Structure 1
Amino acid sequence: MGLEIGLAACGVCLVFFGSMFVPVRSCDSGDGIFVQWLMSLAILIVGFFTFWIQNFPGFYPLAMLGGAFWTIGNATAIPIMHRIGMAMGMLIWNTANCTMGWAGGRFGLFGMKANIPASPILNYAGLACVIIGGILFSQVKSTPAEANEQKKAKRHSEDIENSAEKQALNPNPGSDTDDAGDVQIAVPAKQKENTVSEKEKIGAILLSLLAGAFYGNTFVPVIYMTDHPEIFVGYPTDQLSYVFSHFFGIFLTATVIFVFYAIFK
């Protein structure tokens, strides 16, 4: 029954992790720092309810380190999506995430116990598919644009059409001249698309790989604690018991980033 539960959990992760940035794309996210803090607040609320349902199993500071890793990676998400788009950014950093997670579990990096697969051939073949897929994803041509800019452009286009209709119906020559001037000024606004340079795209891809490395290590502290009961005597073996500590680390790190960002700005 454990395998079925694990696969079902992977399906839940697929849906929620895959759609976590969809609401962000419907608003003006700026450089993403404040948006990330709001996300961390929502994460903390979910963590608290999990903590409550589990009857408050305890707080484990080392698990906060994994939350800090996740937040550092997540801080790069909005700038990445601004330059190469949400789909391409998520595909690349999840490729790095999978590779980092595989290496840690397969070889027991960072003090974790190594998990030898039952079929090394299939294991390495799966890794090869992930890496090849990531390389192919990095070659996809993207034309990222902010959702709010698209909406503004659509509204602006409608304004132009309305202006043209007014121009046709308005007998006042002075008004015709003003409306025509508005139309002439508004049309070049569409030229703002495809303004991401090749250098920015490469930088965003490298930043995606770095984000994936941080995402891939987010659970290392928790796994390290559960793998070494001789060091962490009395600590729970159920990894859900560490959820609140992990999520509190996300909130605390996001808050620190936001405070320093606000002071700097």
Structure 2
Amino acid sequence: MVPVSSNGTDLTTGFISSAIAVILFGSNFVPLKKCDTGDGMFLQWILCSAIWLVALIVNLILHCPKFWPFAMLGGCIWATGNIAVVPIIKTIGLGLGILIWGSFNALTGWASSRFGWFGMDAQEVSKPLLNYIGAGLSVISAFIFLFIKSEIPSNTCSLDTTPLITEHAINHTQDNCHDYSWVDKLSTVQHRIVGCSLAVISGILYGSTFVPIIYIKDHSKRNDSIYAGASQYDLDYVFAHFSGIFLTSTVYFLAYCVAMRNSPKLYPEAILPGFLSGILWAIATCCWLKANHSLSAVVSFPIITAGPGFIAAIWGVFMFKEIQGLQNYLLMIFAFCVILTGALCTAFSKI
């Protein structure tokens, strides 16, 4: 168990960790921008393999703290939500996907910590009103991205045409693609229904991913609990959490292989980008766990779930030239102001 530092140092560490997590969560899909990922089942397994490798390295650095199997449940929950990411991107786009799953992620994670759902202890802050305002602004900021439009070509079916921010354009040129996934066969209305439904489910699952870790920490303070004496340092649970992710993704991939009669759709060009994406996500999550330890989840959740959409928009403007026009730029500036205000309110609620 790592000793707790002074309050000032703890806050600084927490906010720096939150900033790194926001940047990496907003960037981890960038390596996959020009890769054909098909139905996403092969990609999610590659991504989760990279996540587990990072966990192994972190576990060795921390001198192999005690492994709590219950912490694996959080990884299982996350992996279950993650298998829907590619279908979400293909149906409603990453921007609208982030809007929906980010909002439900923020609300579920914040509310469960703030009000003590799922057997956890309710987390208090010194200024509850500011915390409520910060959480609300974090959700509102996500809706702004819904109105940001991007310029995307309509002559190809690769993921190069999938914008990082706005809704995926569904066009008839997909008929030229030689390899369809089940998503490509849906109608426009079905795209919207399936994509939005999956995003809601994924968001709720994402928001619950740290519940087992927080539960163990809370019950470690009770002498009559089986978790009595468990570590209060969130990163001590990263190996168990990420092992749950890898185990669950492997089970889903094997089930997929069985369903495909041992002829799964593999996309070799997505291996290295998918591995890099997984590494970025794993580092971001380690930073998030560090922020949870330093700030508490009730503070870190609104901050870390609000920022990635803005970072994705920045990539869309400067790297991929998807977002153009004065109106879009003004909306981005407004979104940034809302995110910054919400983050400040959440931060000051802790001080």
For this structure pair, what is the TM-score category when the shorter chain's length is used for normalisation?
0.7 to 0.9
Give the AA of the match of 1:68. Answer: C
For normalisation by structure 1, the TM-score amounts to 0.78
Deviation digits for residues 133-165 of structure 1 (CA, Å, limit 9, x no counterpart): 344545666798899735899xxxxxxxxxxxx
Rounded Cα–Cα distance in structure 2 between residues aligned with 1:29 and 1:146: 18
Of 182, 186, 201, 2:192 maps to 201
Q: Distance in 2 between matches of 1:210 and 1:152?
A: 26
Give the 5 Å matches for 1:66-77: 66-77=74-85
Q: Which has the larger radius of gyration?
A: 1
Tell whether the 8 Å contact from 1:66 to 1:217 is kept in structure 2 after alignment.
Answer: yes
Task: Give 3-state SS (helix, strand or coil) of 2:157's partner.
Answer: helix
In the alignment, which residue of structure 2 is the partner of 1:44?
Answer: 52
Q: Percent identity?
A: 38
- The 8 Å contact of residues 115 and 122 in structure 2, kept in 1 or not, is answered as yes
Which residue of structure 2 aligns with residue 20 of structure 1?
28
Q: 1:2 to 1:45 in 2, by over 3 A?
A: same
Q: 2:41 aligns with which of 33, 47, 51?
A: 33
Structure 2 counterpart SS, 1:149: coil
CA distance in 2, matches of 1:91, 1:263: 33
Number of equivalences: 231
Partner of 1:259: 254
After TM superposition, the score normalised by the length of structure 2 is 0.60
1:143 and 1:204, CA in 2 relative to 1: closer, same or farther beyond 3 A?
Answer: farther
Structure 2 residue 218 is the aligned partner of structure 1 residue 227: yes
* 8 Å contact kept, 1:83–1:196: no
Show the counterpart of 1:120: 128
Contact 2:45–2:253 (8 Å) recurs in 1: yes
Q: What is aligned with 2:236?
A: 241
Contact 1:40–1:254 (8 Å) recurs in 2: yes
| Higher alpha-carbon deviation: 125-134 or 39-48 | 125-134
CA shift in 2, pair 1:148/1:50, >3 Å? farther
Q: Do 1:70 and 1:214's aligned partners in 2 also have CA atoms closer than 8 Å?
A: yes
When the two chains are superposed, the root-mean-square deviation of aligned CA atoms in Å is 3.0
Q: 1:208 to 1:152 in 2, by over 3 A?
A: closer
Is residue 75–residue 241 contact of structure 2 (8 Å, CA) maintained in 1? yes
Of Structure 1 and Structure 2, which has the larger fraction of its residues in helix?
Answer: 1
- Report if aligned partners of 1:27, 1:147 keep a CA contact under 8 Å in 2: no
Counterpart of 1:46 in structure 2: which amino acid? V
In the alignment, is residue 57 of structure 1 matched against residue 52 of structure 2?
no
Q: Which runs of 5+ in 2 are unaligned?
A: 1-8, 162-171, 177-185, 261-351
Greater Cα shift, 238-247 or 110-119: 110-119
C-alpha distance after superposition, 1:177-206 (max 9, x if no partner): xxxxxxxxxxx84898xx961342233122
Long gaps (5+) in structure 1: 154-187
